[in-house]
Structure 1
Amino acid sequence: MVQDVLREPAKAVTFLVLDVRPGSEDTARDLLADVAGLTRAVGFRVPDDRLSCVVGIGASLWHRLYRLPVPRGLHPFRGLSGARHTAPATHGDLLFHVRARSLDLCFELVRQVMRRLAGHVNVRDEVQGFKYFDERDLLGFVDGTENPSGPDAVAAVTIGGEDPAYAGGSYVIVQKYLHDLDAWQALPVAEQERVIGRHKLSDIEIPDADKAPNSHVAVTTIVDPDGTERQIVRENMAFGSPAAAEFGTYFIGYAGTPDVIERMLHRMFVGEPPGNHDRILDFSTAVTGSLFFVPTAEFLEDPSPITSHPAASADGSLGIGSLRRSRT
C-alpha cells in the first residue's frame, strides 16, 4: 500500500506539524501504524468527500522511532539566506497533510489524531487551507499549471532504485509564506504579471523572450545540463484571516529526492547568479521551512521487514489521481 500523495485537488486542507516529546516515541509509532485506519473510519461518514492523510517523518525523530538506516535524502531542512531574503529552517518531527472536499472531515481526523497524541506532542504549526475561487492564490493568480500528471507525476515523487529499502516513498518540503497584500495590490496588473511570469486573467505563460529573468516562473524552472526539466508535485493551498490581516500560501512540494526542491529554493532566495532572487519574495515572506520523509503505508503499519538497504532494487509508486496545479 502507498500513501495517498497524488490525488484530485482538495477544497479543504489541514497542515499539522508536531514535535514528539521525549519518552513518547512508542505512542507516536503506534499512532502512525493506525493513521490509515483512522482516516478510513472518519472518511467513511462521507465517502464522496475523499478524505486522505499523508504522514511525513522528520530527520530528528527518525532514530528515535526506528533502528533502521536513515532514508538517503532525509536531513534537517537547510535554511537559506540571500542578499535580501531568508528561508528559515523550523523544527518538525511529524507532518500530517490532511485533505478532503469539506473541512469537517479534516477537522475530525485531526481531532482524533490529537486525542491519541494528547500529552505526547507539542504543536509546531496548524494551518487550515482552502480552495480559493478557480485554483487561485491570494495574490490573484492561478496557483500554477505545471504539475506533471499520470506516470510523469509518479516518477517525479517516487523514490526508486537509488534507495531500494525505501522505494515507493517520497519526500516533502513545507513552507508557510505570508503575503503583503497592500504592497502587492498597489502594483499595476502588468507589473504583477512580470513578477509571476504569467498573465493574470488567462494564466498563459509569458514567452521566454519577454519573461523577466527574476520572475517566479523563470526562477523556479529547474533544467539539468542535458536539457531535462526536473519536476515536483505541488499541493499548495491558500490560508488566512482577514480580521488578523494575515494572508498566505502554504507551500507543499513532493519529490522523489529533495535536491530538486532545494535547488529551486536556492534559486529563489539566493539566486543563480547570486542576487537574481525570485521577485515574488519582495511581497511574500517565508516564516517556516521543514523537510520530511514520506514512507509507504506498509512501512508505517509494520517497519520490521526493513533491516538494511538491500542490494536489489524495488519498484514503488504513489496513489494517482487528478493533480492540483500549483505554483510556488
Structure 2
Amino acid sequence: MAREQLGVCAEANLHGSYLLLNAHEGHERLLRSKLARLPLLFDRLAEHFSEAQLSGVVAIGSNYWDLLYPGARPVGLSMLPELSAADIELAAVPVDILIQIRSDRLDVNIISCQQVLQMLDSHVEIQDQLQGCRYLDGRNLTGFIDVPWNPKARNRRQVSLIDATEQPVFAGGSYMYLQQLVFDHLSWHQLSLAEQEDIMGYDKVSARPLEEHRILPDSHRLMMQPDLNAPEVLMQNMPSYQVKQQGLIQLAYAASAQALHRQLSYRCGMSAHSSGHDLLLNYHRIELTAAFFAPSISFLELSAKN
C-alpha cells in the first residue's frame, strides 16, 4: 500500500514556508536519491519538535517531471490549462521543485528549511521563498474565514489522494496548483460589510452561506466550490504579509488533474458554466501560478533506486 506524504492532508498550522527551487541540469539521479530522503528528514524533525506538529511535502513541477522521472507520468499532469481571459493573468511560472513545510513554530520551519537546503545543496538553486502565517484563527486578510467548505476528516484523503484503482503507480500522490496572490487591501476595506459578503458569498462572522436571494453567481464561494456537497479540491491556504505587499499563498490539492483544471477555469470565468470570473479576483492580483505533482513516499523511494 502506497504511503502518502502526510503534509498533503495535514491540518492547519501557524507557519508555512515554501521553497521554490530550480534543479541543475544533469543532477537528476542524485536528486531522486535526496528527494526520497526528505520525508524521513521531516519525520525526524517532527519527532524532535513534537509540539510543533511539523509536516512537509515534496512536489515536482510539471515542466520538470519527465527529466526527473522519465519512466512514467501522472495522467493529465500539464503545465497549466490555456485560459485566455482578457482580464485575468495567471502569471504562469515554471518551478522544478516545491518544498512545503508547515508547523506551529517559526524557528522549527527555519531549521527545517536550512536542513532541506543543506541536503539539496549544489543540486538546486533557490528561485524564491514564500512565507505564510495563520491569521485571526483561520481567516485570510479579507477578514473572512478561509475556505469554510474545505473537506473534513477522511474526506480530505478521498478528495486529494489518488486511489490505487485509478493509477496504481501514483497511488497516494496528489496533483497540486500553487498560486501567490497580492491583496489590494485599501480597495477592499473601502467596501461595506454587505458588499464584502456579497463578493465572498458567505457571512463574515459565521461563514454560513448567504440567503439564496443574496448569493451572486460569480461570488467567491460559488466560483471556488459550485457543489458544496461534492468537493473535488482540498485547499491549503496561508496569508502572507510584508509591509509593501500582502496577500495569500494558495495551494490546491486534488486526486485528479481535471478537478484542478475545472476549478481554475471556472474561477477565471472560462468555463461554459461560469457567469463571469470570481469577484474576489477584482481585489487580488495573481503574482504566480505553477503546477506540480506530489508523489507518494513509496514512489519517491522506489524511484531513488533507479
Residue identity matched to 1:288: L
Q: Per-residue deviation at 1:253?
A: 0.9
Q: Per-residue deviation at 1:111?
A: 0.9
Who is 2:38 aligned against? 35
Who is 1:255 aligned against? 254
Q: Per-residue deviation at 1:298?
A: 1.5
State how far apart, in whole Å, the 2-side matches of 1:70 and 1:91 are.
17
State how far apart, in whole Å, the 1-side matches of 2:169 and 2:122 are.
33
Match of 1:180 among 174, 184, 200: 184
Q: Per-residue deviation at 1:228?
A: 6.9
Alignment of 1:233-312 (within 5 A): 233-242=234-243, 244=244, 246-272=245-271, 276-303=276-303
Unaligned runs of 5+ in 1: 307-328
Partner SS state of residue 154, structure 2: helix
Unaligned runs of 5+ in 2: none
Who is 2:221 aligned against? 217
Q: How many residues align?
A: 301
Q: Per-residue deviation at 1:272?
A: 4.3
- Say whether 1:168 aligns with 2:169: no
Alignment of 1:92-103 (within 5 A): 92-103=95-106
State how far apart, in whole Å, the 2-side matches of 1:261 and 1:66 are.
22
State how far apart, in whole Å, the 2-side matches of 1:305 and 1:118 are.
20
Could you tell me whether the CA contact under 8 Å between 2:159 and 2:233 is conserved in 1? yes
Partner SS state of residue 95, structure 1: strand
Residue identity matched to 1:298: S
Partner SS state of residue 86, structure 1: coil
State how far apart, in whole Å, the 1-side matches of 2:35 and 2:297 are.
9
Q: 1:44 to 1:151 in 2, by over 3 A?
A: closer
Residue identity matched to 1:2: E
State how far apart, in whole Å, the 1-side matches of 2:31 and 2:305 are.
19
Q: Deviations over 1:104-134 (max 9, x none)?
A: 1111111111122223222222111100012
Alignment of 1:66-105 (within 5 A): 66-78=69-81, 80-105=83-108
Could you tell me whether the CA contact under 8 Å between 2:217 and 2:275 is conserved in 1? no
Who is 2:127 aligned against? 124
Could you tell me whether the CA contact under 8 Å between 2:218 and 2:275 is conserved in 1? no
Q: Per-residue deviation at 1:271?
A: 4.2
Q: Per-residue deviation at 1:149?
A: 1.8
Partner SS state of residue 80, structure 1: coil
Q: Which runs of 4+ in 1 moved over 6 A?
A: none
Who is 2:27 aligned against? 24
What TM-score comes out, normalization by structure 2 length? 0.92
State how far apart, in whole Å, the 1-side matches of 2:275 and 2:286 are.
18
Who is 2:140 aligned against? 137
Q: 1:280 to 1:155 in 2, by over 3 A?
A: same
Residue identity matched to 2:135: Y
Who is 2:207 aligned against? 203
Who is 1:158 aligned against? 161
State how far apart, in whole Å, the 2-side matches of 1:16 and 1:79 are.
26
Q: Per-residue deviation at 1:256?
A: 0.2
What TM-score comes out, normalization by structure 1 length? 0.86
Q: Per-residue deviation at 1:305?
A: 8.7
Residue identity matched to 1:3: Q
Q: Per-residue deviation at 1:262?
A: 1.4
Q: 1:294 to 1:277 in 2, by over 3 A?
A: same
Q: Deviations over 1:76-97 (max 9, x none)?
A: 1235331322222111111111
Residue identity matched to 2:223: V
Could you tell me whether the CA contact under 8 Å between 2:36 and 2:304 is conserved in 1? no
State how far apart, in whole Å, the 2-side matches of 1:93 and 1:158 are.
21
Of 276-285 and 120-129, the range deviating more from structure 2: 120-129
Q: Per-residue deviation at 1:215?
A: 0.7
Could you tell me whether the CA contact under 8 Å between 2:17 and 2:101 is conserved in 1? yes
Q: 1:67 to 1:269 in 2, by over 3 A?
A: closer
Q: Per-residue deviation at 1:211?
A: 0.3
State how far apart, in whole Å, the 1-side matches of 2:93 and 2:212 are.
35
State how far apart, in whole Å, the 1-side matches of 2:230 and 2:212 are.
15
State how far apart, in whole Å, the 2-side matches of 1:120 and 1:13 are.
23
Q: 1:31 to 1:305 in 2, by over 3 A?
A: closer
Q: 1:301 to 1:234 in 2, by over 3 A?
A: same
Q: 1:290 to 1:171 in 2, by over 3 A?
A: same
Q: Per-residue deviation at 1:304?
A: 6.8
Q: Per-residue deviation at 1:73?
A: 2.6
Q: 1:228 to 1:194 in 2, by over 3 A?
A: closer
Residue identity matched to 2:235: R
